[in-house]
Amino acid sequence: SVCPGDTSVLAGLYGPAEAKISKELPDRAALEVLLRPKVGLPGVLERSREQLLRQTCEAVLLGVLHPRTAISLVLQVLSDAGSLLSCCLNAACMALLDAGLPLAALFCGVTCALQPDGTILLDPTARQEQEARAILTFAIASGDRKVLMATTKGSCSVEEMQQCLAAAQRAASTIFQFYRDSVRRRYSKS
């Protein structure tokens, strides 16, 4: 489970397992993402987030090594205090790493909030998200800091988006270092 601040998401990855005939793809693995909110049934917002996560994961997963199989990623939101989508992205990447699935690159999620006066805030809390003019979430790949996924809520100009992207790419290094430290701790025990 991954928790930046008070937002917390539990991720479970199952696979490569047997796929239903209707869902299996002949040349690659079929990835399915399920996002469950803390209270209530999953709605349209969860569905759109699931699609974003699925497309990001499929971009890094080497699905061609496991054709006709199904990989399921289940995310349960334990607590939400802002920047939920980037927390889900980080949890998904750590689940893929932990399960030992073949990946071409790692990715991390960073959320930027644009305040009404133009300042950029990284990893905003729920309160800051409400007051912000625009919220941008980026999924950034590990090798060359390329952008895998970008989603925006609210409006901002192109220059502001470029600035947020640059700030997010800088912040991504901290998150990748955190991945490295967690994995090192896990392997040092054995």
Partner 1 sequence: LLCGPGLRRSGAGLLVTKCGLLRHRPGGGGAYWVDSQQKRYVPVKGDHVIGIVTAKAGDVFRLDVGGSEPASLSYLAFEGATKRNRPNVQVGDLIYGQFVVANKDMEPEMVCIDSSGKSSGMGIIGQDGFLFKVSLGLIRKLLAPKCEIIQELSQLYPFELVLGMNGRIWVKAKTVQQTLIIVNILEACEYMTAEQRKQALAKLSGN
Site for partner 1 contains 158 (CB under 8 A): no
Question: What is the identity of the amino acid at 155?
Answer: S
- Going through the chain in order, the beta strands assigned E by DSSP cover 8-18, 30-36, 69-79, 107-114, 120-122, 134-141, 147-154
- Binder among 30, 66, 91, 137 for partner 1 (CB under 8 A): 66
Shortest distance in whole angstroms from residue 97 CB to partner 1: 5
In angstroms, the CA 19 to CA 33 distance is 14
Shortest distance in whole angstroms from residue 31 CB to partner 1: 14
In angstroms, the CA 186 to CA 188 distance is 6
Give, rounded to a whole angstrom, the gap between the first and last alpha carbons of the chain: 21
Shortest distance in whole angstroms from residue 151 CB to partner 1: 27
Stretch that binds partner 1, among 38-46, 62-70, 115-123, 158-166 (CB under 8 A): 62-70
- Binder among 8, 56, 69, 111 for partner 1 (CB under 8 A): 69
Quote the DSSP letter at residue 61: B
Site for partner 1 contains 99 (CB under 8 A): yes
> Where do contacts with partner 1 occur on this chain (CB under 8 A)?
15-19, 62, 65-70, 97, 99-104, 183, 186-187, 189-190
